[in-house]
Amino acid sequence: MAFQIITRRAAFLAGALVAGAAGAAVGSKLVSPARAETPQVEVAQGAAPASAPAAPAAPVVTARGLPDFTTIVRQYGPAVVNVSTVGTVKNAGAMNDPGEDDPLFHFFRRFGQPMPGPHRQPVRGLGSGFIISPDGLILTNAHVVDGANEVTVKLTDKREFRAKVVGADKDTDVAVLRIEARGLPTVKIGDAARTQVGEWVLAIGSPFGFENSATAGVVSARARALPGDSYVPFLQTDVAVNPGNSGGPLFNLAGEVIGINSQIYSSQGGGYMGISFAIPINVAMNVEQQLATSGHVSRGRLGVVIQDVNQSLANSFGLARPEGALVAQVEKGGAGAQAGLKPGDVILAVNGEAVTGATDLPSRIAAMKPGTPVKLTVWRDHAKRELEAKVGQAKDKTVASKDEGKPNSGKLGLVVRPLTPDERRQAELDGGAVVEDVTGPAEKAGIQPGDVILALDGAQVTSPEQLKALAEKAKGQVALLVQRGDAQLFVPLELG
């Protein structure tokens, strides 16, 4: 039987797919048996988790010695919300070049008509979330709201609110929502670092659309690395988690949230198979603080490519046992190179704390604030040595906006961000705004994510804010000067 990780839109399986777009909203990927290499590192810098005003629920044990979760469900269940979304996806026939293998090709050719071009169809999705502040701040998964044009939050008292996406970080799969409400019930934030393997845990969410469902199990493993998720040391559990649970909280027996349910290990049918994964709440709260305050996530970077050390490699390098992270490549001019790291070095410890393997290093370095000094214990030439490094800055990419709104123009249908210094240097540009998302007029005009808007009606664009100001003054049709790759072109756009 083949197995897969249901991720990045797993919550959408519970939603009703519209107009023949069935299956388009569910993403999956195969689980590799092992990771030979871990990518360069970058995750949110540390920040103390915000405390919630609610008092912790006391764990109750039954006469048979099993935990009783009723107190936790009663006290914190009202803070768990249902998150429903409406977005658009390209229809199944939206192929760039369908060719003669497509049966519709012959149908349209018979009537002397070309194949219809790509178009988008509506899709509805469903997930979970939980309230972390009484004034309406909510945590969920980034894949729950990815591609959503509308996000609605439903409380257990049946009230519904249109939610704003404050920010979403796809690298950690964390999103922050806000609804306009006061005096809301909240969860209590715990500390995932204190979680023990074998500890009882409880998940509350909306599996397959069944709101406020509670399932329980134990923590199966800590700091679990998954293919393609180098920034998150996942908590593995055997809690029954299914599509629709995505974004919901994972509680410990004290009633504290220690994780956000995010992914499952599943058969091809997409159901629960006894293995689920949660984002540690410490990681999520670090990301939340940065998204809420600055609109983007800063990540530390060492600038090295690493891999695990097996027994054969340990023997080759003279190590007593397989341990640490083997440096396979060092980026020229990066933080690792400046510290003196070389290919063949084995990083054994960071600031005195042992590095158990290649999957352990990325999240630890990425969680450090860029510029932070760090001491690396390295195995080289059959001996230990200490190196001093200064954590580098990962490429700055805006992943969200502050609450006052994204730096874009609703009239244009564009979500844009400033160019990073590296992007300016590589493209040899003095200004411009990078397109991150398109809707409405911009989408109809053919603007694409990654395009750089250089000018509007001849006026040079120096920042996202200036583009918005220019668009607000414009009427009718405008001409955007766009750089796409190495080419520049003018794109006419009808204002919305």
Q: Give the pLDDT confidence of 38-66 residue by residue, as tens digits.
A: 333 333 333 334 444 444 455 555 556 68
Same domain, 338 and 464: no
9 falls within a domain: yes
pTM: predicted TM-score of the whole model, two decimal places: 0.62
Same domain, 184 and 312: no
What tokens does 209 get? 């659309």
Same domain, 280 and 307: no
Number of domains in the chain: 3
Cα-only R_g, the chain: 25
Same domain, 212 and 70: yes
Task: Look at residue 143 in the predicted model and tell me its pLDDT.
Answer: 92
Task: Look at residue 298 in the predicted model and tell me its pLDDT.
Answer: 80
298 is catalytic: no
Task: Look at residue 49 in the predicted model and tell me its pLDDT.
Answer: 42
At 142, which CATH number?
A: 2.40.10.120
30 falls within a domain: yes
431 falls within a domain: yes
Which of 252, 270, 293 marks a domain boundary? 293
Same domain, 268 and 315: no
Same domain, 377 and 441: no
Same domain, 66 and 177: yes
The alpha carbon of residue 361 and the mean position of all alpha carbons in its chain are separated, in whole angstroms, by: 19
What DSSP state is assigned to residue 79?
Answer: G
User: C-alpha distances in angstroms, 31 versus 5, 25, 198, 220, 361?
Assistant: 6, 20, 24, 17, 21
113 falls within a domain: no
31 falls within a domain: yes
403 falls within a domain: no
Q: Which of 173, 229, 345, 451 is catalytic?
A: 173
CB 125 within 8 Å of CB 243: no
Q: Which of 84, 213, 246, 276 is catalytic?
A: 246
Same domain, 209 and 321: no
Of 12, 3, 262, nearest in space to 139 by CA: 262
Of 304, 309, 342, 339, nearest in space to 324 by CA: 309
Q: Which of 84, 128, 143, 213 is catalytic?
A: 143
Residue type (1 letter), 423:
E
Question: 89: how many CB neighbours lie within 10 A of its CB?
Answer: 18
309 falls within a domain: yes
Same domain, 378 and 489: no
Same domain, 379 and 341: yes
Which of 261, 293, 325 marks a domain boundary? 293
Residue tagged 């800590």 (tokens): 222
3-state secondary structure 293-341: HHCECCEEECCEEEEECCHHHHHHHCCCCCCCEEEEEECCCCHHHHHCC
Same domain, 173 and 24: yes
Q: Which domain holds residue 199?
A: 3-35+47-88+124-293
Q: Where are the beta strands (DSSP E) in 156-303?
A: 160-169, 174-178, 188-189, 200-205, 213-226, 229-237, 249-252, 256-267, 272-280, 300-301
230 is catalytic: no
Cα–Cα distance measured from residue 448 to residue 187, given in angstroms and rounded to the nearest whole number: 40
Three-class SS state of 58: coil
Query: pLDDT tens across 201-251, in order?
Result: 999 999 988 888 999 999 999 988 776 666 788 999 999 998 899 999 999
112 falls within a domain: no
Same domain, 490 and 417: yes
At 420, which CATH number?
A: 2.30.42.10
296 is catalytic: no
Which of 365, 393, 421 marks a domain boundary? 393
pLDDT higher than threshold 90 for residue 152: yes
The alpha carbon of residue 434 and the mean position of all alpha carbons in its chain are separated, in whole angstroms, by: 20
